[in-house]
Amino acid sequence: MSAAATRVGERLPTLALVGNPNVGKSVMFYNLTGRYVTVSNYPGSTIEVTRGKARVGDTTFEVVDTPGMYSLMPITDEERVARRILLEAEPGVVLHMVDAKNLPRMLPLTVQLLELGLPLVLVLNMMDEADRLGVEIDAAALSRDLGIPVVQTVSIARKGMSALREAIGQVMGAGPPAPPVRHEAAVERAVDEIAPMLPDRFQHLARACALLLLQRDEEIDALVEAEDPDAAATVERVVRGATRHPGKTLSFTVAMARQALVRDLVARHMRLPAERRFTLSDRLGDLTINPITGVPILLLVIYFGLYKFVGVFGAGVLVDLLEKKLFSAHVIPWLDELLRNLLPGESGWRYWTRELFGGQYGVISMGLTYAITIVMPIVSMFFLFFSIMEDSGYFPRLAMLVDRLFKKIGLNGRAVIPVVLGFGCGTMATMVTRIQETRRERVITTFLLALAIPCSAQFGVITGLLAQGEQGVLGLSYVFLAWIAIFFGVFLLAGWLLSRLLEGPPASFYMELPTLRLPRLTNVVIKTVARVKWYFLEVLPLFVVASLLVWIGRLTGLFALLVAGMRQLVTAIGLPPAAGEVFLYGFFRRDLGAAGLYKLNEAGQLDGAQLLVAAVTLTLFMPCVAQFLIMKKERGLRTSLIMAGAIFFIAFGVGGALHLLLSATGIMS
Amino acid sequence: MTHNANGIDEKAEELLEAIWVALELDGLERQPEPPAIQLDRLGDEQLQLEQLLGEQLAETPTPGTVRLTARGREAAENIIRRHRLAERLVVDVFDLHGEEMEPYACRFEHLVHPGLEERICTLLGHPRVCPHDKPIPPGPCCREERHEVGPVVVRLPDLHPGQRGTIAYLYSEDQARLGKLLAMGVLPGAEIELQRRIPTFVFRVGFSQFAVDEQVASAVYVRLES
């Protein structure tokens, strides 16, 4: 690492990458920084911010890849975080990355960034696509008119990097750019009045903050209020005075003034092709959003991505390799022998100490073994699948396909992201409900994730279990299809009822559909690795905790009591008493429950009907400890306890009803 | 100054209008090849003559006279038509008369573009004469005796797939909904094409595609292309 980077006690100048989602920010980030990268949550949020170091000329920068933003007036948490970084970090240089072909739509943000008065470089990225579409941009003229460097790049091919480095050097320390827009007289008067009243630490951004206040920005308002209540009151009066013009809101007036500048710049410096050229990706994109072709494509994606790749390959082939061929055959017997030699005996402290690490439920033999041999391969494959989908731009299309259906359960298409993620890990998905806009949506999604979405470990093991039996379509057994139909039915019905129960405004849906593209290997690997890493750091310790709790429960005899109760319950829904343990352990890890079921089945204790009842009840049953803890953190203890109670009741209710139906009709005997 | 479809500004349009009115006074406006007019009959507006000559809307057969070309005649007739339709609109619909009416009509005639002109004409029932009883040159809509006026501005959900227009304005009771559209760069003046209605509304602005539900789509008001 360079000397400048390691100097102690001196903050490095920040280089902030800013722009819409899907404009190639992350790739540019890696082009600039190379290997020294940290991914962390922005304080107080789940939004991940990636930081790294880059050397440009003689300066070492701390590079920040901000979350995607459309405007300085934030709507989503991502935008709030991105803006906070810009307002608080006082970046040495800001790179506004845009998708060159969509320049007219992205220039308004450039104008807003110029109004912030920070040293700015406009990066016209994805120039290859613009060229292919016949879009021409006079970058030199644009640069002259905006008063900042404008660089053309193709980040994925590392084109234009040296020009970009030069531009960064050029604006570094060059002083703030001139404000690009003169707003309506009333707005300018109000800005001049507000700016000097703002607290000192906003002074370098006074004009931008005044404009935001005029657009009734709550966050800035609260910050001013906190530092100087008198100024806040005066500001409020000025804002109200300026807004009194009939029939208009100021954000509209301000946006229109910017738009007028943008339109002028675009008219003079950008040439669009007379006829829009349709590329292969356009045609493919159309197929994915047309319900006639889109729904079959969706089913194929689920079949190959989720079933074949995560289920059959991850949970089947990989788990088999790791668990059976490696751990069960070599590691566990070796561990058992080692422990037995060290701590012989069938009772007393030696036995319990041995059981803490080894035996059926030990921290190593159960906790770590399951984590590494079952959960890791399945979850990794799922995250790989998820990252590929994410990078290809498919998710927004999926969201628009299901929007109407999701509206029926009080959600909107956007909820498809936490729901799909729930098929990977419900704990992570519950955290991701923060992307939703209303509390009502977050509560509904949290509940449905806990109730009706099997996580990948559970999905994998149950898929393996139910693969036997009479074959239906596509090599899927009827039992498996019945299981899917039941939990999907419960998902819709519970969602519909809950949306009736909880009052609130309808969820509104709006999303940009990015161009479909082949996923980039580097992007996919980076995203997958980051998620698997998160999973190991956050969730793996919980495996150990769960094993410890089981150990304590067994040592104190508390588990014997609980198991006795559970045995009663499972017998009532027609399962063998041994399944009681499966459910109890299932709460400590949902996937452990599924794995227990697997063992029960291997021992020949379940018939076809019992297998289906057990699979359904276990899928609907309480989430694992980790997910419950996250629920409590996100939704509060009271809401989470009510949800847990309802889930318990529904799981056994549906299981019992299914048992009665199957035994009365004799369908599966 | 803005330039209109004929490539001339509003002042030059008024000169064309004045030439046409002079011909009308002589009862010669219907002639296939209208005669030349003495320039001194046209008042101050003759300053714009250069523009008409440049655009080949008029020629000067002898010094001090001006004659409309075939193109010029057609352009003049359109302008007169718009002017008199604007007068009818102001009188019949806005209920303004006499001196009150004239300034509005004058401003209107320059704002009325060809597509809008036909709609106004149909709305007013294809009037034959202006409020001063001067004839209004008939347009294609009069000859076809159209009776139904299509709306000029419609909400995005009322477009059919493939239909295009320009975003006229955004309106919603819900400020947050407007904010979403503004933030995505969906702004008045942008060209918009509705692509799908099912399973949800998909539209294109520039090279970007957006999917929104009916509530969000309803906040977008689109001026249709004629």
**Highest mean predicted confidence (pLDDT) among A46-60, A65-79, A489-503:** A489-503
Given an 8 Å threshold on Cβ–Cβ distance, is A509 in contact with B211? yes
Report which residue type is found at A184: E
**Angular region, A609: left φ>0, alpha ψ -120 to 50, beta rest:** alpha
The pLDDT of residue A592: 63
Greatest alpha-carbon pair distance for chain A in Å reads 89
Report residue A153's pLDDT band, with 50, 70 and 90 as the boundaries. Answer: very high
The pLDDT of residue A167: 93
Closest residue of A to B188, CA-based? A256
Q: Is A478 on the interface with B (CB under 8 A)?
A: no
Q: How far apart are CA B203 and CA A399, in angstroms?
A: 15
pLDDT in tens, A248-285: 567 777 887 888 898 889 989 998 877 766 778 888 88
The pLDDT of residue A219: 83
Given an 8 Å threshold on Cβ–Cβ distance, is A510 in contact with B179? no
Given an 8 Å threshold on Cβ–Cβ distance, is A508 in contact with B215? yes
Mean pLDDT of chain A: 84
Q: Residue B91: which residues within 8 A CB-CB, separation 6 or more?
A: B97, B101, B131
pLDDT in tens, A6-38: 444 467 888 999 998 778 888 888 888 876 566
Q: Is the pLDDT of residue A668 over 80?
A: no
The pLDDT of residue A469: 67
Q: Is A126 on the interface with B (CB under 8 A)?
A: no
Given an 8 Å threshold on Cβ–Cβ distance, is A108 in contact with B202? no
- Which of A20, A105, A133 is best to mutate for the B interface (most B CBs within 10 A)? A105
List the one residue out of A596, A202, A652 whose CA is nearest residue A660: A652
Report residue A44's pLDDT band, with 50, 70 and 90 as the boundaries. Answer: low
The pLDDT of residue A402: 92
Tell me which chain B residues have a C-beta less than 8 angstroms from the C-beta of A407: 213
- Which of B191, B196, B200, B214 is best to mutate for the A interface (most A CBs within 10 A)? B200
Average pLDDT for A51-71: 87
List the one residue out of A71, A50, A52 whose CA is nearest residue A5: A52
Average pLDDT for A357-372: 78
Task: Quote the tokens at residue A333.
Answer: 């017997």
The pLDDT of residue B44: 64
Q: Is A413 on the interface with B (CB under 8 A)?
A: yes
Average pLDDT for A437-445: 90
Q: HSE-up of A28 (CA within 13 Å, CB side)? A: 34
Q: Is A259 on the interface with B (CB under 8 A)?
A: yes
Among B177, B198, B211, beta carbon nearest to A513: B211
Cα–Cα distance list, B205 to A107, A393, B154, B214 (Å): 14, 18, 17, 17
Q: Residue B36: which residues within 8 A CB-CB, separation 6 or more?
A: B61, B62, B65, B66, B67
Tell me which chain B residues have a C-beta less than 8 angstroms from the C-beta of A256: 187-188
Tell me which chain A residues have a C-beta less than 8 angstroms from the C-beta of B175: 249
Q: Is the pLDDT of residue A1 over 50?
A: no
Given an 8 Å threshold on Cβ–Cβ distance, is A403 in contact with B213? yes
The pLDDT of residue A40: 57
Location of structure tokens 């318990």: A648
The pLDDT of residue A640: 94
Tens-binned pLDDT, residue by residue, of chain B (226 aa)? 345 556 677 778 888 888 888 888 888 777 777 788 888 777 665 667 877 888 888 888 888 888 888 888 888 888 888 888 888 888 877 777 777 777 777 777 777 776 777 778 887 878 888 888 888 888 877 877 777 667 778 899 999 999 999 888 888 877 777 777 877 778 777 889 999 998 899 999 877 889 999 989 999 989 887 5
> Can you give the three-state secondary structure of chain B, one letter per residue?
CCCCCCCCCHHHHHHHHHHHHHHHHCCCCCCCCCCCEEHHHHHHHHHHHHHHHHCCCEECCCCCEEEECHHHHHHHHHHHHHHHHHHHHHHHHCCCCHHHHHHHHHHHHHHCCHHHHHHHHHHCCCCCECCCCCECCCCHHHHCCCCCCCCCEEEHHHCCCCCEEEEEEECCCCHHHHHHHHHCCCCCCCEEEEEECCCCEEEEECCEEEEECHHHHCCEEEEECC
Among A75, A263, A285, beta carbon nearest to B179: A75
At CB < 8 Å, which residues of chain B contact A?
A: 170, 174-185, 187-190, 196, 198-200, 202, 205-213, 215-216
Tell me which chain B residues have a C-beta less than 8 angstroms from the C-beta of A511: 210-212
Given an 8 Å threshold on Cβ–Cβ distance, is B200 in contact with A404? yes
- Which of B178, B182, B191 is best to mutate for the A interface (most A CBs within 10 A)? B182
User: In this structure, are residues A150 and A171 in contact, taking their beta carbons and an 8 Å threshold?
Assistant: no
Given an 8 Å threshold on Cβ–Cβ distance, is A401 in contact with B199? yes
> How many Cβ pairs within 8 Å bridge chains A and B?
111
pLDDT in tens, A446-499: 999 999 998 887 887 788 788 766 676 667 788 888 999 999 999 999 999 999
For residues B97 and A63, the model is more confident at: A63
Q: Is A325 on the interface with B (CB under 8 A)?
A: no
Q: How far apart are CA A156 and CA A548, in angstroms?
A: 47
